[in-house]
Structure 1
């Protein structure tokens, strides 16, 4: 085995697998002739500005490629679509074989397929630099049937289809159509259909890539904790548990208990708002402290309205609390409004509520948006 020695202290090393043996080889940019495919390596580095390690890896993988004609043709095609050298490098990092693909028979038809789905030309480079593995899939055997399956689950919404791809790199390309189909069918059998299914697919496409046995275990876990296939919260429980490890989930549970909530309280909070357990520990602590100590809510109220802890303290809870304190101090309301009711209002509804107090509306708006204005100390620092 020949070891490539570096003449520079800044040389890089990489694990390679020639002839199935893992070796550590040192690579030097000053020794182009040491690359397995010098012409290809030289083209990638000098013409496309690939970093030497990536270029070396590609030239090693495609060492038998003698002509650069097909590679140059593929690159010219990508550049004609607006790909920068950096985006070509990103695409090749995920799927280097696209550099050797036939333009007319492979690349152009697949890109046209996505254009027909609504992918606008200015967005093509960014989309495929993150999803270049799609260009390695068979159009007829993989892309078309998979996309049809996804579109059906998404209600034929092409915009949502591209959101799914953006959230899950390699989606479809690395998964079988059968797995995708079976997972969709299983979730539908659990009552997760229509808008709930499309929501889960948009937010957590990785769930649809799970082994069917893993997905079944995830659903069973949720059912064991009080959810049912009739509950609209089941999909949110599955979403949450797919985002968290069991250790993290237990840690959040113990945090709630340490704040004075009982086991039954924790179970109730999870069933009513599974997404609560995706909230950071810091936000949970601050929220509980505010509602119990500042807003003087009873723990039972917080336990029965766990969504309170999911609201933004800075942008929603505290600003509205300030406004209500002013309204109460000035006795502007003939009948008290529940702070729960106030928090549940949309932004438009709350602003309409404030606008009723015409004589005090300016003061109330300033109190509501105070967090958006720089403090005097920060203004002084800026000057």
Structure 2
């Protein structure tokens, strides 16, 4: 296993070899696999490079493949693929060692560097002062520091090969118009930094959404929850909006983006299966669609959770279908921690005539703090019994 010094020396030696190949217009064809090499063997090869024959050069060209495979933990197919992509490309005379040192100076661990190289090997040949440092400075000025910075850049290494002034800066400015808070800005970038190199498409899609009255915080919601939607083709986005309108969402409704979020993230087969499941319990198609329009996120839950919830509310609580259709969000609640326990307290309150409770749905929709204050701690003589009914399964555990 190479120590950090021999690893850096090998990077530098590799660059000298590769640059010499490109200067002699030698194309690399790493189609054969050879055992991993050492720095000494590579340096010995470099000394004899100028007198090497054409056949020998072909053999030695496989060192690029071996280098990627052994030092950056790439699989054999990945090494071959990257080597082919670099074949015949001329790079500026920048030493990989300076790139690696730069990353380490700003706090990157070797795992971060390896991740970047696996996805963007050309970064090894970048000019530190002209190309890399200005891009890193941009994100440091936005508030990225330490592990946040290294984690962000290694997660989205394409930003290191994108144009600073033509792509990254205008992309950041476009996102800042949507995200006003600095803390939210970092959160959004960490989640969807892959958008940054797609400036033109991103901005044109924002314009499209604004033409449909989806603006401000509504765009922010999409950016946080379904950022991929913002980099689809405009025809795809128009199609999703059309589907939303056909399902009953109005263009000027704030619920449009929630429907858009769900529709764009669900396959048509999945959407139909959810509707069919709900209708199997006796709901009409209109009632099923009403449940989706009121709470689109409902269609993200598993079929099992949806089925158990509907069965419990209709057959155990005996809730009318119309009530469930009007309050579909209760199907999202945890069955064990919220629904079952709330039902036990509700039944106990009714059986002991402790107070008038409007309805089980009303009780269920209260926050835990309000529920405890209004229906448990208020009845001091019965607090223990009510608390056991509410959290009995946790107390027993």
Q: What's the TM-score, normalizing by structure 2? A: 0.79
- For residues 57-97 of structure 1, give each alpha carbon's deviation from its aligned partner in whole angstroms, at most 9, with x where no partner exists: 44443356799962111111112223222222222222222
**Structure 2 residue 223 is the aligned partner of structure 1 residue 201:** yes
**Structure 2 residue 336 is the aligned partner of structure 1 residue 349:** no
CA contact (8 A) 1:319 1:367 kept: yes
**Structure 2 residue 271 is the aligned partner of structure 1 residue 249:** yes
2:86 to 62, 67, 70: 62
Q: Secondary structure at the match of 1:134?
A: helix
Aligned counterparts, 1:213-292, within 5 A? 213-292=235-314
Compare 126-135 and 73-82 and name the one that shifted more: 73-82
Query: Structure 1 residues 292 and 66, CA, compared in 2 at 3 Å: closer, same or farther?
Result: closer
Q: Secondary structure at the match of 2:357?
A: coil
Aligned position for 1:18: none
Instruction: In structure 2, list runs of 5 or more residues that go unmatched.
Output: 1-28, 43-58
* Whole-angstrom CA distance in 2 between matches of 1:148 and 1:48: 35
Aligned position for 2:173: 148
Compare 82-91 and 248-257 and name the one that shifted more: 82-91
Query: Structure 1 residues 25 and 365, CA, compared in 2 at 3 Å: closer, same or farther?
Result: farther
Aligned position for 1:368: 390
CA contact (8 A) 1:179 1:209 kept: yes
**Structure 2 residue 350 is the aligned partner of structure 1 residue 325:** no
How many correspondences in the alignment?
348
Instruction: In structure 1, list runs of 5 or more residues that go unmatched.
Output: 1-22, 376-383
Aligned counterparts, 1:135-214, within 5 A? 135-154=160-179, 156-168=180-192, 170-173=194-197, 175=198, 177-214=199-236
**Structure 2 residue 112 is the aligned partner of structure 1 residue 91:** no
CA contact (8 A) 1:88 1:129 kept: yes
CA contact (8 A) 2:31 2:80 kept: no
Query: Structure 1 residues 328 and 172, CA, compared in 2 at 3 Å: closer, same or farther?
Result: same
- For residues 314-362 of structure 1, give each alpha carbon's deviation from its aligned partner in whole angstroms, at most 9, with x where no partner exists: 23222222222222233221x2231111121122212222221222223
Runs (4 or more) in structure 1 with deviation over 6 Å come to 65-68
Q: CA deviation at 1:252?
A: 0.7
Aligned position for 1:36: 61
Q: What's the TM-score, normalizing by structure 1? A: 0.82
- For residues 147-166 of structure 1, give each alpha carbon's deviation from its aligned partner in whole angstroms, at most 9, with x where no partner exists: 11111122x23333333343
Q: CA deviation at 1:272?
A: 1.2
Query: Structure 1 residues 46 and 250, CA, compared in 2 at 3 Å: closer, same or farther?
Result: closer
2:152 to 99, 122, 127: 127
* Whole-angstrom CA distance in 2 between matches of 1:307 and 1:54: 46
1:302 to 320, 324, 342: 324
Q: CA deviation at 1:292?
A: 0.7
* Whole-angstrom CA distance in 2 between matches of 1:26 and 1:158: 51
After superposition, the CA RMSD in angstroms is 2.7
Q: CA deviation at 1:195?
A: 1.8
Query: Structure 1 residues 327 and 292, CA, compared in 2 at 3 Å: closer, same or farther?
Result: same
Query: Structure 1 residues 80 and 41, CA, compared in 2 at 3 Å: closer, same or farther?
Result: farther
- For residues 177-202 of structure 1, give each alpha carbon's deviation from its aligned partner in whole angstroms, at most 9, with x where no partner exists: 33212211221222222222211111
Q: CA deviation at 1:224?
A: 1.2
- For residues 282-333 of structure 1, give each alpha carbon's deviation from its aligned partner in whole angstroms, at most 9, with x where no partner exists: 1110110111112110111111211121222123222222222222233221
* Whole-angstrom CA distance in 2 between matches of 1:82 and 1:330: 64
- For residues 222-252 of structure 1, give each alpha carbon's deviation from its aligned partner in whole angstroms, at most 9, with x where no partner exists: 1111111122211100000011011111111
* Whole-angstrom CA distance in 2 between matches of 1:48 and 1:249: 43
Query: Structure 1 residues 191 and 27, CA, compared in 2 at 3 Å: closer, same or farther?
Result: same
Query: Structure 1 residues 43 and 69, CA, compared in 2 at 3 Å: closer, same or farther?
Result: farther
**Structure 2 residue 130 is the aligned partner of structure 1 residue 74:** no
Of structures 1 and 2, the one with the larger relative CO (CA 8 A, separation 6+) is: 2
Query: Structure 1 residues 374 and 144, CA, compared in 2 at 3 Å: closer, same or farther?
Result: farther
Q: Secondary structure at the match of 1:144?
A: helix
Whose helix fraction is larger, Structure 1's or Structure 2's? 2
